[in-house]
Structure 1
Amino acid sequence: MDTTKAELDLADELGYELVRFVRLINRAKSQVAKQGPDGVERAAYAILFTLIHEGPQRTSRLAESLHSEISTISRQSSSLVQHGLVERQADPEDGRACLLAPTAEGHRVFEENRKARNVWLAEVLHDWSEEDRQTLNTLFGRLNSGIEKTSPQLADQPQAKGASA
């Protein structure tokens, strides 16, 4: 695909805003306690989110899905199990293996956290028009879908001098 200079310039602006967005989200996450009120490490909520949205999974699949080490997923999932948010179930395809699945309490805690996130996002967007909020959701969804189906090929392309993420 041949890309025009104008397309590359717009992509550069988007890249800048995406890096800025990720930094701001990371800052917001760091301002929230490293552990939630229930004593669970905040990073472990990604496991709970995945299990709720994608269903019960093996630790190895979670590690792949979350781009994390199996040891990290094992530690975090053990904490979720200890707190009653996740349970281990026999894998119906292989009785020697187990699947991790959210419990009713896991669903409740997930919804509590989701509501808090939604209140914060509503505050962020409170002075936006309804049309702008709808447009943001539509475009963000399209962007995410495009990212999901298009792998970056940065290793195949020469880097420009002074280029940064």
Structure 2
Amino acid sequence: MADNLVALNAVGEIVFQVDPDPLVVRAQIAALKDHLLSLPGLHVEMPVEHTVQDGVYTRKLFIKKGTILVGKIHRKACVNIVAMGDISVVTETGYARVRAGHVQTSPAGLQKVGYAHEDTIFINVFRTDQIDIAAIEVEIACESHDELDGALPEHKETLCQ
């Protein structure tokens, strides 16, 4: 599926096959996103809670078990928190299966792909001076690496090490 980023293992579970070349993974993520968007009737809305307080924006996403999702590209670094559940996450810098209690930062420029093994709550925390959610979303995320400088993240402390 989508250039072999996503596969099934011997017992039929979703697994990720991550190429060592970050640019290959970036292309695979884009292909997966296009593939998923092309499938009629499979797109689902996920509940999102937004909180803005004193220059801190939190985005809390509920991901139902069995969901594959492709996030937007983050323009800014953020803190990632798995508040509940079990999720596999892929970025161009690697793969990790993380569970409730996992907290880690990721640099600007990354796009995440996830597969929820259990119902999962995933929280991103960003610094912002904005208070309007629409303005914050424009500030923190984009749909294409063409909207950035295209460089790979230099800083390797990512969700997936």
Q: How does the TM-score come out when normalised to structure 2?
A: 0.23
- State the structure with more CA Rg: 1
Name the structure with the higher helix share.
Answer: 1
Structure ranking higher in strand proportion: 2
TM-score by length of 1: 0.23
